[in-house]
């Protein structure tokens, strides 16, 4: 058993580690991104090793493939998204004007809701839509005006692939060394918990992110096929929002219906929009989630929202990056604590068993 002094030492070390993470949070982002990429790429490297690749060669192949895909994605998406913001700049004022002249009077006439206090036209005129189309260029301009910001971005762009490469190359060695530090009397239990956490994290990081990517592609492609001008932007936002169950569908179909209604001014395109998101939900429910994620995560939607907000509040952007993986690990630990509690004397289980075995 662990002595009280050892328990106090472990608790002290845990508090110090959390405090150190808090202090170092401004510089941890590239390392966390690199660790996530290495964790995602390790199974691919392991498979390449089985095909007679050396560890370094397997890392070079998988790392180069990942870097090529990311580079092509950025080169293709950035110009397309910039064009989407220009379309939004033209669409925004028209949509707000139509809402003020057509939608709000209809709501007031049919539902008896007083919308006069909304000052909708003041809102329409107060929004500078001319800046929306150049959002990307304006952001880049502000970044380039600061030499420190330039150096930070360049350092991260260089640091992430370098750290990812070395973590991928030495991943198995690092895991083995960490395992060798675990006290032998607790090794089996710790190994069991670690494997369960690994299964949950793998389901989330590899599975859920792939589901989000697939949904973003499905929604964007479907909306662009039916001619929605903001289809790419709405599809990407809906895919990212799918990290919370049903949130992506709600946000995406709402935005797509509004965009399609004001663009086409007809009811038929709204049916096509609903069909796109209906097909996306069917593919997610019957194919993507069972195949890539399964039921291993088990995080309630409210828990997902709380974890992201709590992580951002405590550790900023770093907290947002680690919120859901940490929440998944905590869920595994709480599950074991719950099982131990239900079988403990405090809960009454052992006492009931002893009473049932009493030969009275």
Radius of gyration of the chain (CA): 26
- CA angle at residue 38 from 33 to 41, to 5 degrees? 125
Q: Which two tokens stand for residue 298?
A: 């088990």
CA 301, distance to chain mean position in Å, is: 13
The pLDDT value given to residue 353: 47
Sign of CA dihedral 198, 280, 73, 81: negative
Decide which of 197 and 280 is more confident.
280
Three-class HEC string of 269-316: HHHHHHHHHHHHHHHHHHHHHHHHHCCCCCCCHHHHHHHHHHHHHHHH
Helix (H, G, I), strand (E, B) or coil at 54: coil
Decide which of 149 and 352 is more confident.
149
Residue 306, CA distances (Å) to 73, 211, 301, 335, 339 in order = 31, 21, 9, 18, 24
Calculate the average pLDDT of the chain.
77
In this model, does residue 122 exceed pLDDT 70? no
Q: Dihedrals φ, ψ of 133, to 5°?
A: -65, -25
Task: Count other C-beta atoms under 10 Å from residue 109's C-beta.
Answer: 9
The pLDDT value given to residue 145: 54
The pLDDT value given to residue 137: 54
Average pLDDT over residues 152-160: 76
Reading phi first (left if > 0) and then psi (alpha if -120 to 50, else beta), residue 348 is in left
Average pLDDT over residues 240-260: 86
In this model, does residue 296 exceed pLDDT 60? no
Helical residues (DSSP H) of 99-243, grouped into ranges: 104-111, 120-126, 135-144, 147-169, 171-180, 187-202, 209-225, 231-241
Average pLDDT over residues 325-338: 81
In this model, does residue 193 exceed pLDDT 70? yes
- Specify the pTM: 0.69
Average pLDDT over residues 313-329: 75
Q: Which two tokens stand for residue 67?
A: 């870097």
Average pLDDT over residues 331-358: 69
Reading phi first (left if > 0) and then psi (alpha if -120 to 50, else beta), residue 227 is in left
Decide which of 279 and 74 is more confident.
279
In this model, does residue 274 exceed pLDDT 90? yes
With cut-offs at 50, 70 and 90, classify the pLDDT of residue 144.
low
In this model, does residue 159 exceed pLDDT 90? no
């Amino acid at each position: 058993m662990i002595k009280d002094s050892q328990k106090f030492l472990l608790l002290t070390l845990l508090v110090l580690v959390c405090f150190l993470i808090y202090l170092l949070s401004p510089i941890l982002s590239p390392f966390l991104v690199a660790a996530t990429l290495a964790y995602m790429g390790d199974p691919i490297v392991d498979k390449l090793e089985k095909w007679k690749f050396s560890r370094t060669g397997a890392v070079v192949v998988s790392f180069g493939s990942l870097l090529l895909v990311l580079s092509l994605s950025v080169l293709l998406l950035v110009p397309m998204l910039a064009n989407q913001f220009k379309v939004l700049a033209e669409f925004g004022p028209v949509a707000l004007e139509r809402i003020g002249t057509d939608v709000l009077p209809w709501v007031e006439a049919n539902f008896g809701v007083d919308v006069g206090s909304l000052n909708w036209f003041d809102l329409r005129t107060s929004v500078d839509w001319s800046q929306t189309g150049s959002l990307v260029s304006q952001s880049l301009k502000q970044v380039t005006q600061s030499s420190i910001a330039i150096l930070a971005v360049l350092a991260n762009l260089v640091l992430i692939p370098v750290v990812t490469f070395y973590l991928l190359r030495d991943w198995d060695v690092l895991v083995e060394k960490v395992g060798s530090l675990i006290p032998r009397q607790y090794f089996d239990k710790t190994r069991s918990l670690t494997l369960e956490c690994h299964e949950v994290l793998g389901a989330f990081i590899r599975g859920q992110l792939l589901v989000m990517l697939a949904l973003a592609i499905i929604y964007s492609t479907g909306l662009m096929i039916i001619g929605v001008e903001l289809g790419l932007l709405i599809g990407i936002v809906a895919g990212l929002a799918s990290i919370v169950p049903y949130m992506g569908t709600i946000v995406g179909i709402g935005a797509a219906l509004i965009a399609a209604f004001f663009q086409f001014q007809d009811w038929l395109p709204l049916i096509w929009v609903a069909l796109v998101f209906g097909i996306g939900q069917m593919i997610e429910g019957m194919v993507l989630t069972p195949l890539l994620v399964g039921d291993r995560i088990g995080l309630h939607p409210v828990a997902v929202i709380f974890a992201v907000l709590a992580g951002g509040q405590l550790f900023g952007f770093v907290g947002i990056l680690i919120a859901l993986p940490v929440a998944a690990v905590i869920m595994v630990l709480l599950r074991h604590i719950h099982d131990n509690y239900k079988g403990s004397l405090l809960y009454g289980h052992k006492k009931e068993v002893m009473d049932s075995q009493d030969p009275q």
